[in-house]
Amino acid sequence: MIIYIKNKHSLKIDDFYFKCSIGKNGLSKNKREGDKKTPIGCFCIEKLYYRSDRIKKPITKLKCIKIEKKMGWCDDPLDQKNYNKLINLEKKIKCEKLYRQDHKYDLMIPIKYNYLRPIKFKGSCIFIHVTNDYKPTAGCIALQKKDFLIMLKLLNKKTKIQIN
């Protein structure tokens, strides 16, 4: 199963097309931390993270992890040990907090970009997450909640995302 990002406004899975948004500054083969670009390439996806206080566990073949208040995703390129990894906020590490006031991360899937052996400043925290307004992102891919829930039914742990 492959998720295709066809352009800055559409995501395709099988015969399903969904409206989406991408990074404010478009797509890039040379992604850099903070450039507000979505990386080009073919990537595996991570598990589904979700806010169990807002959404019941979705129907999906992906492993599901409840987002807790102490969870973050390290976006500090100088922290080689934790860069682009799930972290515990109690460690005082620069990160993107996953338990948010808004609803962007009520449903969230990390894209395995710069993931296994992260390279400093190459980019972190690239997620598929929820949007209400399709405003451009900081580099992530965003879908409306209803479309995200449909997409989850189609995905499995071998699913890849092709961004071009």
pLDDT tens by residue, 143-156:
999 999 999 999 99
**According to the model, what pLDDT value does residue 65 have?**
98
163, two tokens: 């961004």
- What is the domain class of 2-163 according to CATH? mainly beta
| Closest listed residue to residue 47, CA positions, set 148, 158, 163, 154 | 158
> What is the chain's mean pLDDT, rounded?
95
